[in-house]
Structure 1
């Protein structure tokens, strides 16, 4: 691999150098060959042969420079002060085969100076959920961290019960969070200019061509964040804990805790059982993204020589709403196979209302529309359509008939072939449903990883019908079934 440990060259107040605390008897859980190939890991015989030892914390290659990062953050809207990597270590940074910098971050590596009241460990169930979610989002085409692999061990970890300890090697284009700047502003303000230069030069070098690079950088972060959250909304993904310390400066999804993929469509859906106020409900994510950036930007007021003022910061934040709306609306129209125009958006929002009023499955219902416009070519989607319409009461049936007639009339005005291609590429068949993840976890806790292998392969091609799929993979819960509780330790 091509190592480029740039973060370790920064001021030592920003991190703490340390080795991982080894797990007892680590064993292979799963290895992501696609990520390994992207990193160049597969070309290093020593790394391939000892990957379980590396992820288990028993062996640290000489080229690695493990460190835990310091950062701060606002959690559930309240200033939380110093936080930091409480159970993870940035093990190394490498250039991948596309010359993009990638962080290799070991989660579950043991206690650090930032562990606070924690034990520095991760459990198998949360490790599996993060491993599968990063994989799922990546294959869905959404900017996200992914993972090289994970191990399970004989180390016992206490959560709601005693569980098997595990560790995951997360791979992300950056682990710098909005909370890094919040930490610097509170505890080391003299580092702000240097750290801002590092963020620009490392992650946004194109901003150096701007007349005011810092302002260009800030606006780029705003726009990338807006697009990421629009992608979440389009796929029905809810992060569950959008604290400022959980948002990356690169607009890539980071830190999977109480996440979920929406099944029955309910915009007010809360997937984090600790979110009693619904702050991080699915429908609130766009506004929370704006709130987080609005908290983050004023810290750069100290950089007056870079042209940062209250007015220029407002200009940096201003594109957020327009960027989000444009990206979301364009994506929504693509999901219907329609051009981005007023008539299409009217149909789209009426369609979402129909889904909400009848608690229809979000993923299956969008995919079912292929069975409406081309039933002979899409037998699976035709079955989805029959299942969907069977759930409608007589009044809703009438609404559906009126809407589908108008929709078909709109489809006739565009290329059917192009519409089908867009719909197939925008509406997945498979998402990581909580029930799917739970079946993997139950099997893995008994030492059986065949189901994990099957689901991993299924999610690798989410837009294509798979022979390995079973009925449960696409079966939503009953309309008013109790929600599976998902917490930050899940």
Structure 2
């Protein structure tokens, strides 16, 4: 691998260097050969031979320089003070096959000075959920961390019950969060200029071409964040805990906890059982992204030439970027051009899904069964199932909408419409019930279901023989969608 451990060269106040605490008898859970090849891991015999021991904390390669990052954050809208890597270590940074910097971060690696009241560990269920979700989002072309693999162990970890401890080697383009700047502003303000230069030079080097590189950098973070959240909304993904310490400066999805993919469409869905006020409900994610950035940006006023007015201009593109990207994506999900008539049809479709609690993923994919039923029998069956759930009045509303929709696409090239529907509406997402079945089997020492879901989610836009009926079956309309615990 091409090591590029630049973070370890920064001011030592920003981190604490330490070794991982080994797990007891780590065993293989799953290994991501695609990520391994991308980062050059497969080229190193030593790494391939000892990957379980590396992830289990028993062996640290010579080129690794493990450290726990210090950062702060606002959690559920309240200042939480100093936080940091309480159960994870940045093990190394490498350049991948595309010359893109990637962080190798071992999650569940033991106590650090930032653990607070925690135990420094991760349990198997949360590890499997993060492993599969990072993989799923990447295959859906949504910027996200991924993972090299995970191991399970005999180390007992107590959460709501005693559970097996596990570790995950997360791979992400950055682990720098909005909360890093919040920490610097509160505890080491003299580092702000140096650290800002590091972020620009490392992650946004083209901003150096601007007459005002700091402002160009801040604007780029704003627009990337807006696009990421638009991606979430389009695919029906709810992060569940959008604290400032859980948002990356690169606009990549980071820190999977109580996440979920929308099943029956309810924009007010709360997937985090600790989110008592619904702050991080699916429909609130765009506004929370804006709130987090608005909280983050004023810290840069300490820098020369950065004024409140200039920061307002940096934040200003957020709403327009989000709306444009979301609306364009919504039109593509219907195979339509981005124009007002298309948006009217799209929002009517969302209303039909919401009013009748129809499945979000299946609902959009079923449009192929409406447009080309003979060519897409699977999607035709989805359409029939969807219609069978509609009462007479709702069925009339659907038929009226379908008539307008078919009349609209009639003027478009059929292949263009079909390709747009196929490429923007997945057949499979990681439903909570799917992840839970894999977790239940894994806790019995059986990882075949993890492997099957990994393969299934690798090509989410294609109907696959390895799929089961349960992979596409939503909960009953009157059943609550499974809330997920923050504890992991």
TM range (shorter): over 0.9
The answer to whether 1:59 aligns with 2:47 is no
Other-structure match for 2:90: 90
* 1:191 is aligned to 2:191: yes
1:34 aligned to 2:73?
Answer: no
> What is the rounded CA distance, in whole Å, between the counterparts of 1:390 and 1:475 in structure 2?
14
Matches within 5 A, 1:298-377: 298-304=298-304, 307-377=305-375
Deviations 1:316-342 (A, max 9, x none): 000000000000000000000000000
User: How many correspondences in the alignment?
Assistant: 488
CA RMSD between the two structures: 0.5
Higher mean alpha-carbon deviation, 416-425 vs 289-298, is at 416-425
1:479 to 457, 477, 484: 477
| Structure 2, gaps ≥5 residues long | none
Decide whether the 8 Å contact of 2:353 with 2:360 is kept in 1: yes
Q: Distance in 1 between matches of 2:383 and 2:130?
A: 31
Q: CA deviation at 1:392?
A: 0.4
- Residue 381 (1) aligns with residue 373 (2): no
What are the Cα deviations for residues 466-486 of structure 1, in whole angstroms up to 9, with x where unaligned? 110000000000011133231
Counterparts of 1:154-165 in structure 2, within 5 Å, are: 154-165=154-165
Match of 1:414 in 2: 412
CA distance in 2, matches of 1:450, 1:354: 38
**2-side partners of 1:431 and 1:409: how far apart?**
30
Q: Any idea what SS the aligned residue of 2:80 has?
A: strand
Structure 1 gaps of 5+ residues are none
Corresponding residue number in structure 2 for 1:457? 455
| Aligned residues of 2:270 and 2:483 also touching (Cα < 8 A) | no
State the match for 1:49 in structure 2: 49
Measure how far apart 1:489 and its partner are: 1.8
Shift, 1:413, TM fit: 1.4
Match of 1:297 in 2: 297
Deviation at 1:488, TM superposition (A): 1.1
Whether the 8 Å CA contact 2:73–2:79 is kept in 1: the answer is yes
The normalised TM-score by structure 1 is: 0.99
Q: Secondary structure at the match of 1:365?
A: helix
1:228 aligned to 2:216?
no
Distance 1:239 1:443 in 2: 25
After the TM superposition, which parts of structure 1 deviate over 4 Å for at least 4 consecutive aligned residues?
none
User: Which of 404, 429, 432 is 2:430 aligned to?
Assistant: 432
Aligned with 1:151: secondary structure? strand
